[in-house]
Amino acid sequence: MNTKKTRNIALALVLGIALVLTIIFAGAAAGGKRLDSAAKPASSAAEEQAPELQLERRIAGDPMALGAVDAPVVMIEYSDYRCPFCGAYARKTQPEIIKKYVDTGQLRIEWRDLPVFGESSVAAAVAVRAAGEQGLFWQFNEAVYAAAPEKGKADLSEPELLKFAQEVGVPDMAKFTADTKSPELRALVNSDLAEGTSLGLNSTPTFVINNQSIPGAQPLDIFVQVIDEALAKAK
């Protein structure tokens, strides 16, 4: 075998190994991450046994939650009403998750506001909470996402938000309008935003199940896999 041919074979082997390593690292990066272990140095065995983050609220009668308060698994959704990917999830994937897991008592979904697109997103989050003050949080939530564009950010101006309130049948429009200016509701939105930011979340939607994050509007199969694993651990 001549020297040139030997060099060619060696180069091909090096390139092949590099390609395999690239695929492995890319696959690891694509999956969700543990929120309680990201960016931490190696720890002792005692530290590894420390309790995980407790993000679940499980508040009875919470208007921003779907499903039984004692469901074995809780999925927390961090979303922005102007986010087109959040809209895609709400229209296509969430109904299937509700039918398969929430309606059967296996899963509870808890909403968190993560308004990453500025003041309009904050105002929209406050408005949906204002509808929630009259028992129509999820109806308003669904109406906003049903009308959201496939691409680009939704125009959620004050007149648009008032139209959604009328569409879902908010009974006391005067109260709704006043509540959209409520400092208390705005503070709750900002508190959710601070929680998400403290976890390193900066894009929407992001879902958290047992402190395992699912970034983006993933296919239903991804949610099924993570939820089923959580249910198996809960038994």
pLDDT at 63: 96
CB atoms within 10 A of CB 81: 29
pLDDT at 36: 55
Instruction: Answer yes or no: are the C-beta atoms of 75 and 94 closer than 8 Å.
Output: no
In the β-sheet with 206-209, what is the strand arrangement from edge to edge? 65-66, 107-113, 73-79, 206-209, 212-215
Which CATH number does 56-234 carry? 3.40.30.10
Nearest to 185 by CA among 226, 127, 141, 134: 127
What is the reported pTM? 0.79
Q: From residue 113, how far is each of 80, 124, 195 by CA, in Å?
A: 6, 10, 9
Check the CA dihedral 81-29-72-188 and report its sign. Answer: negative
pLDDT at 106: 98
pLDDT at 22: 36
DSSP 34: B
DSSP 91: I
Written as six digits, the tokens of 210 are 């047992």
pLDDT at 214: 96
pLDDT per residue as tens, the chain (235 positions):
444 443 443 333 333 434 333 333 333 333 466 675 333 333 333 334 434 678 999 999 999 999 999 999 999 999 999 999 999 999 999 999 999 999 999 999 999 999 999 999 999 999 999 999 999 999 999 999 999 998 899 989 999 999 999 999 999 999 999 999 999 999 999 999 999 999 999 999 999 998 899 999 999 999 999 999 999 999 8
pLDDT at 48: 44
- For the chain, the structural domain boundaries read 1-30, 56-234
DSSP 29: H
